[in-house]
Amino acid sequence: MTKRTKLKIFNDPIYGFITIPSERIFKIIAHPYFQRLRRISQMGMSYLVYPGAHHTRFHHALGGLHLMQQAIEILRFKGIEINAEEEEGLQIAILLHDIGHGPFSHAMEHSIVEGVSHECISLLFMEEMNTEFNQSLTLAIDIFKGSYSRKFMNQLVSSQLDMDRLDYLKRDSFYTGVPEGNINSERIITMLNVVDDHLVVEEKGIYSVEKFLVARRLMYWQVYLHKTGVAAEQLLIRVLKRAKELIERGENLTSSPALSYFLHNKVTLDKFDSDILGTFAKLDDYDIISAMKEWMEYDDFVLSNLCKMLLNRDLLKVKLKKKKINPEKLKKYALPLQKKYSITEEEANYFVFSGEISNVAYSSENDKIQILHRNGKISDVAKASDQLNLVALSTEVTKYYICYPKTIR
């Protein structure tokens, strides 16, 4: 009598039951590297603006897997040949596409490590796991890197209309309570097709794509680039910057062994070996939170106040402008701070600073979203759409912000 394999399922608040398609994929999900994603928030510090935004990269990865399963089923139904090996490769690629994120997702990307993107670290994790899984992740890695011969497979994982974006817009909309981001991902996937090895959307799906692009733009301004969330992320980056600065001076700061390693060492991509990857894998949101709870009481004006601001949500005042911030404006806020607390200009600049945020919902220059018309012709969605605002969505909009304290206690 053959042994029956127990069906593995996850109950997801967005899609309902998500079925894990194979034993290998279940083992990947069970791996400590992947389980760490349960402790990495999907939206960084956005929960300080939207209290419900406590979902994790683990949720998002499983959602991407579910949508990839749907896309494969639809494309096969339309006669696109995808063999069993490619099917599993696609599923593993989307499952692991974000595995390289550090604590609080994007906020920590250039603070803990020096100029190493989460995509680079994702690839390092995948290659490390490939060794453990007897090279069975090789195809998934090729698809992830875009080096596999079938271009549309990489587009399903990473493009302007991929399973990643189709999940995070819908998921982030749900958890923040911002309905503008609630796209019809199922409708878009149903309209997908492949022509000349490139992903296309059938003409009937054009309105769903328009809605997707508008939703993306609104979610960026309303959620991802919300001025308070941006200020909170900047504070978090400055917490680590100050901690590193104090350590370089020879001061002793309490933190977890994993965080301590990255605070004491300058880690660049060329130094990122298996040992460092193992240390990075021990880092998550809790390392940062527990360190900040300790540093709140540390005898350094800058570090202690930055930590208090974040943990007590007593954040900086933020103003958005259409023009670049005049440096004199920064001095106007920094000088009183220096005098009141007897701190240096450099220390005041931790609390008074400016920057810019930009948003482009659709880039018509590369990797276009192609619409397949009934007559067989293919055109860029911006040209195919009768919505004039799609052209506007292709224009990058930049806003400038200035942050300064309300009060410092």
Q: Is 21 exposed, middle or buried (0-12, 13-18, 19+ CB in 10 A)?
A: middle
Comparing CA positions, the residue from 61, 52, 55 lying closest to residue 41 is 55
> What per-residue confidence (pLDDT) applies to 108?
73
All residues at 6 or more sequence positions from 337 whose CB lies less than 8 Å from its CB, including other chains: 343, 348, 351, 352, 405, 408
Average pLDDT over residues 65-88: 97
User: 297 pLDDT band (50/70/90 cuts)?
Assistant: very high
Rg of the chain's alpha carbons, rounded to an integer?
A: 23
Question: pTM of the entire structure?
Answer: 0.93
CATH number at residue 305: 1.10.3210.10
In a domain, 175, yes or no: yes
With a cut of 90, say whether residue 256 has pLDDT above it. yes
- d(CA 300, CA 70) in angstroms, rounded, equals 53
| Cβ contact 170:75 at 8 Å | no
Name 397's bridge partners. Answer: 359
CB atoms within 10 A of CB 130: 16
Burial 80-110 (b: 16+ CB within 10 A, else e): bebeeebbbbbbbbbbbbbbbbbbbbebbbe
Host domain of residue 24? 1-314
Q: pLDDT tens digits, residue range 79-119?
A: 999 999 999 999 999 999 999 999 997 777 778 888 788 89
Name the phi and psi angles at 71, rounded to 5: -65, -45
With a cut of 80, say whether residue 127 has pLDDT above it. yes
> What per-residue confidence (pLDDT) applies to 18?
95
In a domain, 58, yes or no: yes
- Helix or strand holding residue 397 (H, E): strand 397-404
Q: pLDDT tens digits, residue range 298-350?
A: 999 999 999 999 999 999 999 999 999 999 999 999 999 999 999 999 999 99
> Cα angle vertex 37, ends 34, 41, to 5°?
170
> What per-residue confidence (pLDDT) applies to 313?
95
In a domain, 109, yes or no: yes
| Cβ contact 144:270 at 8 Å | no
| Cβ contact 238:230 at 8 Å | no
Name the domain count of the chain. 1
| Cβ contact 39:57 at 8 Å | no
> What per-residue confidence (pLDDT) applies to 89?
97
Helix (H, G, I), strand (E, B) or coil at 242: helix
In a domain, 342, yes or no: no
Q: How far is CA 346 from the centre of its chain?
A: 31
Q: pLDDT tens digits, residue range 210-250?
A: 899 989 999 999 999 999 999 999 999 999 999 999 999 99
Max distance between CA atoms of the chain, in angstroms, equals 82
Comparing CA positions, the residue from 200, 33, 232 lying closest to residue 123 is 33
Average pLDDT over residues 392-396: 76
In a domain, 186, yes or no: yes
End-to-end CA distance of the chain: 72
> What per-residue confidence (pLDDT) applies to 1?
44
Single-letter amino acid code for the residue at 81: E
In a domain, 368, yes or no: no
With a cut of 90, say whether residue 355 has pLDDT above it. yes
Single-letter amino acid code for the residue at 116: V
In a domain, 266, yes or no: yes
Beta-carbon-side half-sphere exposure of residue 338 (alpha carbons within 13 Å): 13
Going by the DSSP 8-state scheme, the letter that residue 149 receives in this structure is S
User: What are the CA-CA distances from residue 261 to residues 123, 157, 240, 280, 287 (Å)?
Assistant: 21, 33, 13, 9, 12
In a domain, 17, yes or no: yes
All residues at 6 or more sequence positions from 327 whose CB lies less than 8 Å from its CB, including other chains: none
